[in-house]
Amino acid sequence: MIKLSHIEKTYDSPAGPVKALKGIDLEIARGEIYGIIGLSGAGKSTLIRCINMLERPTSGTVTIDGQDITAMDESSLRQARKSIGMIFQHFNLLSSATVYDNIAFPLRLGHISEKDVRAKVAPLLELVGLTDKAHQYPAQLSGGQKQRVGIARALASEPKVLLCDEATSALDPQTTKSILELIRNINQKLSLTVVVITHEMQVIKDICDKVAVIENGVIAEQGNVLEIFTNPQKPITKEFISVLLSNSLPAAFRGNEISPKPVPGSYLLLRLTFIGESADEPVIAGMIREHHIEVTMLFGTLDQIKNTPYGRMIIGVTGDEAEIQRALDYLTERDLKVEVIGYVQRHASVAQ
Amino acid sequence: MSSDMLPLLSKALGETVYMVVISMIIATLIGIPLGVLLHTTAKKQILACRNFNRILASIVNAVRSIPFIILMVAIIPLTRLIVGSSIGTTAAMVPLVIASVPFIGRQVETSLKEVPEGIVEAALSMGATPLQIIQRVLLPEAMPGIIAQLTTVIISLVGESAMAGAIGGGGLGDLAIRYGYQRFRPEIMLATVIILIVLVQIVQFAGNRLAKKLNKK
């Protein structure tokens, strides 16, 4: 659906040319929600603006639905933009126009009767739940409502692609959730291809199918969200994920020396990751039943990445060495990820 | 109060209003497009054209730097060319328009600069043409500011029209000089000053009201 090949963007600045994008290759399939995550200044905003030519790439091509939009003249580009909706961090609504007129704006750019405008705006108002606010001005709306107007406006010209530029970054967590839900609904209902730019891993986790991590103008890592979450390769990816998933040890063990060999009175700490089906299976129970070991639960979360259950757990195991080894083998044979942290003594003073 | 004062005042007021209103209309019709060009041809704007913008800006600056009283005299040949005479109320409107156009242009440009870039970007992303952006985004969004700025221009036009009276343009300024000052009739001087004050108050009040009504922020 969207194909970016070798996109480069260089800006002229008083200090000399600045390379914002250094050869980006990206392919986004139809109907997918594709997340692009990066720190500010990583080039992600430039990248999304290259998709609809708000920024012209210095080199490289952007193909949307088989059409090379980098080669288009101004008037075909304007036509092509009508099938690419965009929403913004700061909503960018006309302050002088009502909610209704804002949503009607893209429609009125073409030759269309007011009757047809009404016929198109009404269902959009309903879709975003703002029918009763149709004749209010943006200044009278909350941030979440403004973004809903932005979404309705972006959908008015029935686009095939929706670009979201930090669409939830100016919103509180509650509102973010509802806006993301709305985006996901539209994605499913209209089989719209969605590109999401964000600096929050939570957004990626909640709605994206695939993700590209961008750092210093290049893609550091890309792939399926679940894979990236469970098996991040690059430090930048790990950093983004660590915001959501704490990798530190439970308080009772934190700061103590981790030894690869058993120490008297120590626990063998294991970090277990369950994905999908395995999150439902009684793996731990099975391990305890079949081996003579003591297991202490130290930490556990069960979450969802899009619709896939995803669990993380830290357990402490004590018992006979050989028996622990057999228990480890038992776990690794199962469909879950086992990471051996090491032998750690528990703080005497901290109560569990 | 002498018997001739009322007709004198009403005639002069009529001339002033005529000069200001007609000059303002003509100057606005030229000044708003000028302001739009000044803004949109600037760097990174929708019609960015560096050299054109520079030339336009220098012409505007050049005209604005000439004091009105000098401009009025300096363009007498042009005035004669346009209206066929260099004296009279209609003739006075030529320098009034020429002085106001660049003033309005700059004021409109300032108001347009206040429109957030993101709104223009959003319109571009929807496939709007530059003309559509000017008509449907820039001007409506900047309108409250433009109205407030135009109010200022009208008020300065009232002042300039009084100066234009000195070269035979008629109006309240002319009346105050010829009767109030040269014929030692302080009551006429006082009356014109009061009328001018009231006039300016009305313009300012109306301008503020309209700007406020249009502002939906």
- For chain A, the 3-state helix, strand and coil shares in percent, each to the nearest 5, are 35, 30, 30
Q: Which residues of A touch B214 (CB under 8 A)?
A: 96
Q: Hey, are the CB atoms on B125 and A81 less than 8 Å from each other?
A: yes
DSSP label at residue A250: P
Note the pLDDT of residue A244.
77
Nearest-angstrom CA–CA distance, A121 and A134: 9
Q: Count Cα atoms within 13 angstroms, Cβ side, for B63.
A: 20
How far off is chain B from A82, nearest CA to CA, in Å? 5
Note the pLDDT of residue B164.
83
DSSP label at residue A109: T
Residue A120 has pLDDT above 80, yes or no: yes
pLDDT in tens, A129-174: 999 999 999 999 999 999 999 999 999 999 999 999 999 999 999 9
Lowest mean pLDDT among A217-231, A284-298, A334-348, B125-139: A334-348
How far off is chain B from A215, nearest CA to CA, in Å? 25
**What CATH number is attached to the domain comprising B143?**
1.10.3720.10
When pLDDT is cut at 50, 70 and 90, the band that residue A54 belongs to is: very high
Nearest-angstrom CA–CA distance, A153 and A311: 38
Note the pLDDT of residue A188.
93
CA dihedral A104, A105, A109, A115 (to 10 degrees): 20
Q: Count Cα atoms within 13 angstroms, Cβ side, for A192.
A: 27
Element (H, E) at A339: strand A336-345
Domain that holds residue B122: 5-214
Give CB contacts under 8 A, 24+ apart, made by B42-47.
B46/B120, B46/B124, B46/B130, B46/B133, B46/B134, B47/B130
Fold exhibited by the domain A251-351 = Alpha-Beta Plaits (3.30.70)
Note the pLDDT of residue A93.
97
Note the pLDDT of residue A348.
64
Note the pLDDT of residue A351.
46
Task: State the first-to-last Cα distance of chain B, in angstroms, to the nearest integer.
Answer: 50
Q: Count Cα atoms within 13 angstroms, Cβ side, for A248.
A: 9
Nearest to A109 among B132, B143, B217 (CB): B132
Note the pLDDT of residue A350.
46
pLDDT in tens, A314-330: 888 988 888 888 888 88
Note the pLDDT of residue A349.
55
Residue A289 has pLDDT above 70, yes or no: yes
Q: Hey, are the CB atoms on A95 and B129 less than 8 Å from each other?
A: no
Nearest-angstrom CA–CA distance, B162 and B175: 9
Structurally, how many domains does chain B consist of?
Answer: 1
What interhelical angle do B5-40 and B139-164 show, nearest 10? 140
Q: Hey, are the CB atoms on A157 and B126 less than 8 Å from each other?
A: yes
Name the token pair of A186: 């539209």
The average pLDDT across A223-240 equals: 88
Q: Which of B10, B8, B16, B6 is closest to B164 using CA atoms?
A: B16
Q: Which of A81, A84, A92 to mutate to test the interface with B (most CBs of B within 10 A)?
A: A92
Domain positions in chain A = 2-242, 251-351
Q: Which of B137, B145, B147 is closest to B114 using CA atoms?
A: B145
Nearest to B143 among A86, A92, A96 (CB): A96
Q: Hey, are the CB atoms on A88 and B118 less than 8 Å from each other?
A: yes
B136: nearest CA in chain A? A105
* ipTM of model: 0.89
Q: Hey, are the CB atoms on B126 and A93 less than 8 Å from each other?
A: no
Q: Which of A54, A79, A96, A169 to mutate to test the interface with B (most CBs of B within 10 A)?
A: A96
Q: Which residues of A touch B136 (CB under 8 A)?
A: 105, 108
Fold exhibited by the domain A2-242 = Rossmann fold (3.40.50)
Output the CA–CA distances (angstroms, integers) from residue A111 to A56, A114, A117, A201, B139, in the order listed. 28, 10, 10, 42, 21
Give chain A's contact residues with B (Cβ, < 8 Å).
Answer: 52, 54, 78-82, 84-86, 88, 90, 92-97, 105-106, 108-109, 137-139, 153, 157, 163
CA dihedral A140, A145, A149, A155 (to 10 degrees): 180
Highest-pLDDT range among A207-216, A281-290, A338-347: A207-216
Q: What is the mean pLDDT of each run of 10 residues along chain B (217 residues)?
A: 81 93 97 97 94 96 93 92 88 93 97 96 96 97 96 94 81 87 88 93 95 92
Adjacent-strand bridge partners of A194: A33, A162
Q: Which residues of A touch B128 (CB under 8 A)?
A: 78, 109
Task: State the first-to-last Cα distance of chain A, in angstroms, to the nearest integer.
Answer: 53
Note the pLDDT of residue B115.
96
Give the sign of the dihedral formed by CA A89, CA A95, CA A99, CA A102: negative
Q: Which of A57, A67, A25, A40 is closest to A161 using CA atoms?
A: A67
Adjacent-strand bridge partners of A36: A197, A212
The contacts of residue A300 (CB under 8 Å, 6+ apart) are A311, A312, A313, A314
Confirm if A161 and A83 have CB atoms less than 8 A apart. yes
Q: Hey, are the CB atoms on A106 and B118 less than 8 Å from each other?
A: no
DSSP label at residue A15: T
Nearest-angstrom CA–CA distance, A89 and B108: 28
Note the pLDDT of residue B48.
94
